[in-house]
Structure 1
Amino acid sequence: MKILVAAFDPFGGEKINPALEAVKKLDDQIAGAEITKLEIPTVFHKSAQTLREKAIELKPDMILCVGQAGGRYALTPERVAINQDDARIEDNEGNQPIDVPIQEDGAPAYFATLPIKAMVQKMKEAGVPAEVSNSAGTFVCNHIMYQALYLTEKEMPSVRAGFIHVPFIPEQVVSKPGQPSMSLEDIAKGLSAAIEAMVEYHDKEDVKSIGGAIH
């Protein structure tokens, strides 16, 4: 089994992206699956092009994209990506699309095809805070999740795909009072546990557990 794990480079004025640094720490094999790591630019559409080229070359069984969500305290597999770019800030090349569809012929939204609740369960068992997220935002993280699922629907229908957001690491919050953080080691441990669940549930239905939100 082959899993492509893609993570963004630093953005928004940060010098480091914990998503990318944690992915670099992953073993090359997890639960018997071969892990291929890919750095993608925090740039609308270019990120998707980079991901698509690698996916076509690798022909993975699953795709996991990883990005930073400053302000969150847990690792959060995303449930859904929407067909909308609405950038509050510019990406790394100065693009700032507002109210623009990601793909004109795409669905209004795509749900993750990874076992997100099993992933949360496995991460918690590993001692890492985790929960399901019901919004990936409208920046490049939502964009790449949507594009990964669009790619799998249109060109690679047997491939499962999804996205995890990770928190800041401690060095990023030194000048951000009140912001939560998580050690890079724990983020990497959580991602590894999530991938173990992906492998275990590759040909199974996701677990039925509470993962909803009031608001």
Structure 2
Amino acid sequence: MILLTGFEPFGGGTTNPSWTAVTQARTLLESDGLAVAAVELPCVFGESASVLRGALDEFRPELAICVGQAGGRERISLERVAINCDDARIPDNAGKQPVDAEVVAGGPAAYFSSLPIKAALHAINVAGIPAEVSQTAGTYVCNHIFYTLMHQLHSRPGARGGFIHVPFEPSQLPQGRSTPAMRVELMAQALAVVVRTALVTTVDIRMAAGATH
């Protein structure tokens, strides 16, 4: 079983391409004969983690990938590391705005993704979709969920997972605005590529995809 999650709209938006891309990716993967569950998470600290934990208990996936929006980025971002820190620049959808709080009290400082992110990056690029390895998932609800996911998977032997950020999609931008955007169809294709790659890759490849700052 594969679990994919996306987020509801936040910050005054009316749509969130992470959820739309997840639902389209589920269709693509189901056409491969794979069993896929898709769950929409609330953009709320704490509540989103509870919903994710419930989904992990219900579906017991071998692979879980959470997806969120990183408006302003140009590429599909394969996140490398989740940190044990909530530090919200803006309130979440319930008005919560934690500052310098731990995601999990007493938890490790960070967890690395257990996805083969370099192999996935190569496969996405071969498919002609812009992608990158990202060294930060931020400190908002996306990182909150990424850390929660990896903390949960740490006690579930054999299960792997990680987090992916997607850009804005064109309909979210006012006409004439030059902010980077990507069609949801491409996002969905990239998510499907990551899943397919993860299912057949047990040892990640070595390739340069780091950052200088």
**Which TM class, normalised by the smaller chain length?**
over 0.9
SS in 2 for 1:179: coil
Whole-Å separation in 1 of the counterparts to 2:200 and 2:209: 19
Provide the TM-score with structure 1 as the length reference.
0.94
Q: Which residue is 1:10 aligned to?
A: 9
CA displacement at 1:177 relative to structure 2: 2.3
CA displacement at 1:68 relative to structure 2: 0.2
Q: Which residue is 2:165 aligned to?
A: 165
Whole-Å separation in 2 of the counterparts to 1:33 and 1:208: 28
Q: Deviations over 1:82-126 (max 9, x none)?
A: 000000001110000000011113100000011111111111111
In the alignment, does 2:155 pair up with 1:151? Answer: no
Q: Deviations over 1:114-170 (max 9, x none)?
A: 11111111111111100100000000000000000011113x132111000000000
Q: Indicate conservation of the 8 Å contact 1:31/1:199, yes or no.
A: no
Whole-Å separation in 2 of the counterparts to 1:211 and 1:77: 11
CA displacement at 1:31 relative to structure 2: 5.0
Q: Which residue is 2:64 aligned to?
A: 63
Whole-Å separation in 1 of the counterparts to 2:31 and 2:84: 32
In the alignment, does 2:209 pair up with 1:211? Answer: yes
Q: Which residue is 2:191 aligned to?
A: 191
SS in 1 for 2:131: coil
CA displacement at 1:32 relative to structure 2: 4.7
CA displacement at 1:35 relative to structure 2: 1.4
Whole-Å separation in 2 of the counterparts to 1:176 and 1:40: 31
Identity of aligned residues (%): 44
Whole-Å separation in 1 of the counterparts to 2:115 and 2:200: 11
Whole-Å separation in 2 of the counterparts to 1:107 and 1:176: 44
In the alignment, does 2:63 pair up with 1:34? Answer: no
Whole-Å separation in 1 of the counterparts to 2:133 and 2:191: 14
Q: Which residue is 1:131 aligned to?
A: 132
Whole-Å separation in 2 of the counterparts to 1:107 and 1:158: 20
Q: Which amino acid aligns with 1:121?
A: H
Q: How big is the alpha-carbon RMSD for the aligned residues of Structure 1 and Structure 2? A: 1.3
Instruction: Please list every run of at least 4 consecutive aligned residues from structure 1 whose deviation after the TM superposition is greater than 4 angstroms.
Output: none
Q: Which amino acid aligns with 1:208?
A: R
Aligned positions, number:
211
Gapped runs of 5+ residues in structure 1?
none
Whole-Å separation in 2 of the counterparts to 1:30 and 1:80: 31
CA displacement at 1:30 relative to structure 2: 6.3
